[in-house]
Amino acid sequence: MAAPMSCCRRALLQRFRGQSYCIRPPVRLSSSISKILNGDVEKTELSVTGWVKSVRDQKEVAFLHMNDGSCNEHLQVVARPEMVENVTYGSYVKVKGQLVDSPKDGQTFELLAEDLKLIGSCDPDVYPFKPRTHHPLVYGREYPHLRPRTNIFGAAMRIRNAATMALHSFFQQEGYLHVHTPVITTNDCEGAGEVFRVEPHRKEIMEDIKKEDEKEGDSSNPHFFSAPAFLTVSGQLHLEVLTGAFSKVYTFGPTFRAENSRDRLHLAEFYMVEAELTDTHSLHDLTEVIEKTVKHTTEALLTNCQSDMKTYFKHVAPSEHHTHLKEMLSNDFKSITYTEAIEILIKHNEELTFKLQWGDDLKKEHEKFLVSHFGSLPLFVTDFPLELKPFYARSNEDGKTAAAVDLLVPDVGELFGGTIREERYDILREKINKLGLEADLMWYLDLRRFGSAPHGGFGMGFERYLQYVLGLQNIRDTIPFPRTVRSCRL
């Protein structure tokens, strides 16, 4: 049953049936659909551009749904049938017309088209995405150049944008200085060797450099830089340098891991939020900031991205995921030590595939089990064995464990990792000597020799956070162009 025809729509149809008429120049051009639907645009003549999401061509009038990516909702356009003769799903159009109240339930406004131009045509028979269809996310990954136009992925990108802004807002409010750490570095911060090496592609470049070196009497360096260089795995060591001058700093940028991980939780290129702060006296100083970071960002998404989040709650996330996020926001995160975690896991060995004992690293299975054991809410695990953490982690007084913490969340497992940094010069130097790195890390020891301050920091994988908060099974659906083993499309 068609909706009752409004006076404005009836007047428009009368104009459609009449002779030619003069189109007045629009008062406001290129209004975004999100502003229009939010009521931030005066009901006047305006111009809108966007992609066609559906076309209904009736005898006397045609209806188009348009979207420009600014929001999840579509703007309905009412037009004369001849205007949409070659317009199809996926086309890009420009419409000028009058914005009026809509008589249809579920939408506030509609645009009565006075002029409609087809700018970019689209063959719907060839276009891989179909109207009114929820394509599997794995199908969308086959078309990385087109999947941003789908409703689900469009929502993910707007949520990603909002999460980025919320994180910056949080750290700025807390007095942190945003800094840019290098993408190219000589440090392997994690010490695992899972780095991408950086060298010129063209051999001629190195030959030219060698000739210049020979003129200066030195041709012994085979590298473009002064030493082997890599894509960064973490900005932490650089943040420690800057913490010595600015007290609280953070960075938010790309990091790279050359590991053979083909599962749903790993990427070769991903974004990290890393923070470093001085005057830390215990792991509580870190866990407090970590918990605030998660809650502030999630609250911002639930408040500012309601429509896009509802899309994920309805079509992607597990049932009751929205309720889970609300519970997370209203409860304090629990905390246990690594030793307590091992005791719990040993008691439930029969339920686990991988058995373990004190000193073993936690696998994803163990992390997910612990979170479930504590009510499926985020869980801090602290004080790991020294051997499981990098050399810069502060040794606890027991001589066996490090002042380190991981935050575990449902389904994803580890989301944050952090440590109090070893600020005691003699202990740190002994650790570095055992690794044979004193020559390379003398600068790092200098940070302890000259005005050292107790400090600590943490890092969060941004895509893992999005995977957690959106209830996504695969991390590749959180980033526009995922890079993984054997896959680097576009």
pLDDT of residue 49: 96
Among 120, 138, 156, residue at a domain's last position: 120
Q: Is residue 111 part of a domain?
A: yes
Residues 106 and 239 in one domain: no
Residues 269 and 152 in one domain: yes
Among 69, 101, 120, residue at a domain's last position: 120
Residue 157 phi/psi, 5° resolution? -70, -35
Going by pLDDT thresholds of 50, 70 and 90, the confidence category of residue 4 is low
Contact 63, 56 (CB under 8 A): yes
Give which of 340, 328, 178, 159 is closest to 249, Cα–Cα: 178
pLDDT of residue 59: 83
Domain that holds residue 423: 148-195+233-477
Residues 473 and 342 in one domain: yes
pLDDT of residue 16: 52
Residues 64 and 156 in one domain: no
DSSP state of 362: P
d(CA 143, CA 303): 31
- For position 28, which CATH number holds? 2.40.50.140
Residues 20 and 153 in one domain: no
Q: What is the pLDDT of residues 100-159, one digit of tens each?
A: 998 877 778 999 999 999 999 999 999 999 998 889 999 999 999 999 999 999 999 999
Residue at 276: amino acid letter = E
Contact 362, 341 (CB under 8 A): yes
pLDDT of residue 21: 39
Query: In the chain, how many domains are there?
Result: 2
Going by pLDDT thresholds of 50, 70 and 90, the confidence category of residue 215 is confident
Q: Is residue 56 part of a domain?
A: yes
Q: Is residue 127 part of a domain?
A: no
Look at phi and psi of residue 286 and say left if phi exceeds 0, alpha if psi is from -120 to 50, else beta.
Answer: alpha
Q: Where are the alpha helices (DSSP H) in 320-387?
A: 321-330, 338-347, 364-373
Contact 370, 407 (CB under 8 A): no
Q: Higher model confidence: residue 469 or residue 439? A: 469
Question: How large is the average pLDDT for residues 73-100?
Answer: 95
Among 100, 120, 140, residue at a domain's last position: 120
In DSSP terms, 112 is beta-bridged to 78, 98
- For position 331, which CATH number holds? 3.30.930.10
Q: What is the pLDDT of residues 20-77, one digit of tens each?
A: 434 444 444 568 999 999 988 887 889 999 999 999 988 899 999 999 999 999 999 9
pLDDT of residue 216: 86
Q: Is residue 26 part of a domain?
A: yes
Residues 299 and 364 in one domain: yes
Going by pLDDT thresholds of 50, 70 and 90, the confidence category of residue 14 is low
Q: Where are the alpha helices (DSSP H) in 216-331?
A: 236-246, 283-304, 306-315, 321-330
Residue 295 phi/psi, 5° resolution? -70, -40
Q: Is residue 136 part of a domain?
A: no
Q: Report the run of H or E that residue 406 belongs to, with start and end.
A: strand 404-409
Q: Is residue 87 part of a domain?
A: yes
* Tokens at 270, concatenated: 């991903």
Token pair 């918990």 is found at 291
pLDDT of residue 388: 96
Q: Is residue 455 part of a domain?
A: yes
Q: What is the pLDDT of residues 446-459, one digit of tens each?
A: 999 999 999 999 99
CA dist 70 → 36, 57, 155, 180, 305 (Å):
10, 26, 10, 29, 12
Residues 190 and 260 in one domain: yes
Token pair 């989040």 is found at 309
For the chain, give percent helix, strand, coil, nearest 5.
35, 25, 40
Q: What is the pLDDT of residues 361-402, one digit of tens each?
A: 999 999 999 999 999 999 999 999 999 999 999 999 999 999
Q: What is the pLDDT of residues 237-274, one digit of tens each?
A: 999 999 999 999 999 999 999 999 889 999 999 999 99
Q: Is residue 266 part of a domain?
A: yes
Residues 152 and 83 in one domain: no
Q: Where are the beta strands (DSSP E) in 226-268?
A: 229-231, 248-256
Burial class of residue 138 in the structure, from the number of CB atoms within 10 Å of its CB (0-12 exposed, 13-18 middle, 19+ buried)? exposed
Return the number of other C-beta atoms located less than 10 Å from residue 350's C-beta. 6
Residues 158 and 102 in one domain: no
Token pair 């041709």 is found at 219
> Percentage of the chain with pLDDT > 70?
93
Residues 105 and 179 in one domain: no
Residues 59 and 161 in one domain: no
Q: What is the pLDDT of residues 333-345, one digit of tens each?
A: 999 999 999 999 9
Going by pLDDT thresholds of 50, 70 and 90, the confidence category of residue 10 is low
Residues 65 and 185 in one domain: no
Q: What is the pLDDT of residues 287-333, one digit of tens each?
A: 999 999 999 999 999 999 999 999 999 999 999 999 999 999 999 99
